[in-house]
Amino acid sequence: MKNIYFIILFFFIISSSNAYIFSLKTDKSEYWRYEIVTVTCELKQTNKNPAFFGNNEQTDKLKSSCNFSIYYNNKTVKTIGNLEKIEMKYIPSLDKWVGKWPIPWNPYLGTYKLIAILKIGNKKFAGNVTFTVKGKTPNKLPKGFCVMDIEPGDSIIKRVPGVGGKTVKIWENYLLWAKFMGANALWHCVGQTQIWNKFDPENFPWEKLTLNQIKPLASECHKYNIKYGAYIIGYVLPGNRQDLSPYELTTGYDKENDTLRKLIYISIYDQKRQEDIIKLLQFLDKIPEIDFLGLDYMRTDFGGYEYVEEFTSDMPIEELPKDWSNFNKEEKMLWLAHKLEIEKNPVIQEMWQWWRAHKMSIIINEIKIKSGIKKPLWVYSLTWKQGKEHGQDPLMFIDAGVDINAGMFYSIDKHTFPHMIETWRQYLKKFPTSLVAGQCVDWNLLGRTYEPPGPEEHFLRQKYLIDKLLPVNPSLGLFWHDLTRAFKITRGPYSALEWAVAGASSFTYLRQKQDYFPFEIKWDCPDKVKKDEIFTVEINVKNTSTISNEFYIKLIQITNLEMFGDLTQKFVLSPSEVKTINFQIKVMEKNTKKANKQLIAFMVQYGNLETQQRYFDFKYITVE
């Protein structure tokens, strides 16, 4: 590899004279991971001798060949599209050769060397320049950081079973569930633009009812040490009357009819949408009760063809038609759609994925700078291939100003899930980040599974993720998505309480792995019982701290169970002391809708009995 430097030095020496100056530059000396390196070469005569180029200097330059390669630690770096060498184009108006290098996905950080070779006529010239690729390191998450989030909720959200007292407002139910689960934070969707049946300028773009919930809900959260986050749905427009929207929708492709079509996603070129997002972020940032700000749907889905001209200008595409400049905008969009959706050209696909992630990173950066927000910002991202297929990349987003990546680890089947987690493990081994990983309360997305039951599958996926990712990415949290879904048909045959217990148990598992709890618990429960048979659940609690601790243990009242005796126990344990507690339970009915599975669960609180000082565990047993 080092021999290449001697070859280039040879080129440089034999072509050096007082006849010309060969210069090579990058547009900057340092780049974030989402940026494009723009390279320019220039060749200038110094002796003004026409014979140097011949009779037609511009013709010679137009016929020239100029390319560059990039090296890191003396090894060639392949960039997007598996390219090792980038061809540069001579631009007569600039009298320069210009080329662009997209920085590879998740690159090594540090100094890179760029070497360019120009061949013009029978002469060769070479030069080199260095630049730096840098990346931001986000602040670490608190140990055991766990979130309950909620999309727009309504009257279907009921109170946590067993909670007594006065009737509460809808938003107070959100808090009751977050408190029950022991969440560190409640992330609340407060900004979603919708147009159903008619356009309502008084309630557009953001629903005022939800915005009015912010202060009372956030204030109540803080009473229980629960942080409050408010988030905005970015570039999607739900509803059935997108035709009434003042926003420009992104352009997709209809394969069946070979035509372009508008999608429900808003074009990321739409400046009004960006301005509306910025204004709402500024409003939210000034509310002292808000602790976090968030953005969702920061992606183009499978649209974005209106960006074709900027995309083809930015990326080193080697197979553009020779008469590309004669194509009109629609022809260009259809050419790209055919490459991506008909031919499935892998090089163009990767370039398109990278460019959209690059562009979305620029937009996130613009939004953050223009809004001037100071609160920590999270962004929800898709997780299959780290979101690349939808124009997202977690580390690009971090460099753009995102503080927390909220990875949506759902919409994937059971057998593919481990493969996805392995790709994330490899991704994070190279450069860890602050990741809050979410699993969806959606029986359909979890494969409509009965064995294990849906809520248990939810838990098992989060457990698997923790086991694989925590060792390489210590700044790891979880989110449970979302409270509204726990009351819709997405919950399947399982109750909202069962989903919440499974989510809370995943919070417990993360905290266990992070040495959060000052105690150990072992418990025993039969795998199978008969209907109407009274059986015993034995729970052993050991104080592993160096001080005495107060404990409160409660058997959770799940539907279809008859429980005997006192369902709550309070006690104090000295260091190393163990307490054994027995509960007697009976299953009253077999439930064929759940394949005769019955949930048994308990909760432990300790110390000052704060909301986050909660430990959950559960087991599904078979009822015969």
pLDDT digits (tens, 9 = 90+) for 174-220: 999 999 999 999 999 999 999 999 999 988 999 999 999 999 999 99
Lowest mean pLDDT among 85-94, 154-163, 478-487, 596-605: 154-163
Question: Which residue type is seen at 28?
Answer: K
DSSP 195: B
pLDDT at site 6: 44
In a 13 Å sphere around the CA of 494, the CA atoms on its Cβ side amount to 31
pLDDT at site 165: 67
Residue 51 in this model has a pLDDT that exceeds 70: no
pLDDT at site 16: 46
pLDDT at site 153: 81
Task: Find all residues with CB under 8 Å of 481, minimum gap 6, and list them.
Answer: 149, 408, 410, 438, 439, 440, 441
Going across the sheet that includes 534-543, the strands are 519-524, 534-543, 578-587, 561-564
pLDDT at site 45: 79
Q: For residue range 70-82, what is the model confidence (pLDDT) as tens digits?
A: 999 999 999 999 9
| Tokens standing for residue 28 | 């900057």
pLDDT at site 614: 96
Q: Quick one: 519-623 is in which CATH superfamily?
A: Immunoglobulins (2.60.40.10)
pLDDT at site 19: 72
Q: For residue range 386-396, what is the model confidence (pLDDT) as tens digits?
A: 999 999 999 99
Closest CA to 125 of 1, 4, 24, 51: 24
pLDDT at site 48: 61
Q: Which residues pair with 251 in a beta bridge?
A: 262
Closest CA to 4 of 103, 129, 83, 116: 116
One DSSP character per residue, 53-70 reads: T-S-HHHHHHT-EEEEEE
Average pLDDT over residues 215-232: 97
**What SS3 class is residue 79?**
strand
Average pLDDT over residues 525-541: 97
Same fold flag, 3-134 and 519-623 = yes
Residue 618 in this model has a pLDDT that exceeds 90: yes
In the chain, the N- to C-terminal Cα span, in Å, equals 70
Q: How far apart are CA 393 and CA 356, in angstroms?
A: 10
Residue 570 in this model has a pLDDT that exceeds 60: yes
9 phi/psi in degrees, rounded to 5: -60, -40
Average pLDDT over residues 57-69: 89
Residue 168 in this model has a pLDDT that exceeds 90: no
Q: How many CB atoms lie within 10 A of CB 159?
A: 15
Q: For residue range 93-145, what is the model confidence (pLDDT) as tens digits?
A: 999 999 999 999 999 999 999 999 999 988 899 999 999 999 999 999 999 99
Phi-psi group of 188: left, alpha or beta (phi > 0 → left; psi -120 to 50 → alpha; rest → beta): beta
Q: How far apart are CA 380 and CA 297, in angstroms?
A: 7
Residue 176 sits at the vertex; the CA angle it makes with 172 and 180, to the nearest 5 degrees, is 170
Classify the C-alpha dihedral 239-242-245-250 as positive or negative.
Answer: positive
197 phi/psi in degrees, rounded to 5: 70, -40
pLDDT at site 13: 42
- What is the architecture, at CATH level 2, of domain 3-134? Sandwich (2.60)
Q: To which H or E segment does residue 421 belong?
A: helix 417-430
Closest CA to 598 of 556, 560, 557: 560
Average pLDDT over residues 563-590: 96
pLDDT at site 231: 98
Q: Where are the domains of the chain?
A: 3-134, 519-623
Classify the C-alpha dihedral 530-533-538-539 as positive or negative.
Answer: positive
Q: How far apart are CA 234 and CA 243, in angstroms?
A: 18
pTM of the complete model beyond 0.75: yes
Q: To which H or E segment does residue 309 belong?
A: helix 308-314
Going across the sheet that includes 549-555, the strands are 528-529, 614-623, 597-606, 549-555, 568-573
pLDDT at site 49: 59
* Most trustworthy range by pLDDT among 16-30, 129-143, 160-174: 129-143
Residue 525 in this model has a pLDDT that exceeds 50: yes
Residue 285 in this model has a pLDDT that exceeds 50: yes
Residue 62 in this model has a pLDDT that exceeds 60: yes
Classify the C-alpha dihedral 491-492-496-498 as positive or negative.
Answer: negative
Residue 333 in this model has a pLDDT that exceeds 80: yes
Q: How far apart are CA 206 and CA 228, in angstroms?
A: 19
521 phi/psi in degrees, rounded to 5: -130, 135
Q: What percent of the chain has pLDDT over 90?
A: 88
Average pLDDT over residues 6-21: 52
Closest CA to 436 of 480, 472, 374, 386: 480
| Tokens standing for residue 245 | 């929207």
Average pLDDT over residues 396-412: 97
Task: Find all residues with CB under 8 Å of 175, minimum gap 6, and list them.
Answer: 186, 217, 220, 221, 224, 226
Residues of 404-435 as b/e, b for ≥16 C-beta within 10 angstroms? bbbbbbbebeeeebeebbeebeebbeebbbbb
Q: How far apart are CA 140 and CA 150, in angstroms?
A: 24
| Tokens standing for residue 161 | 């079973």
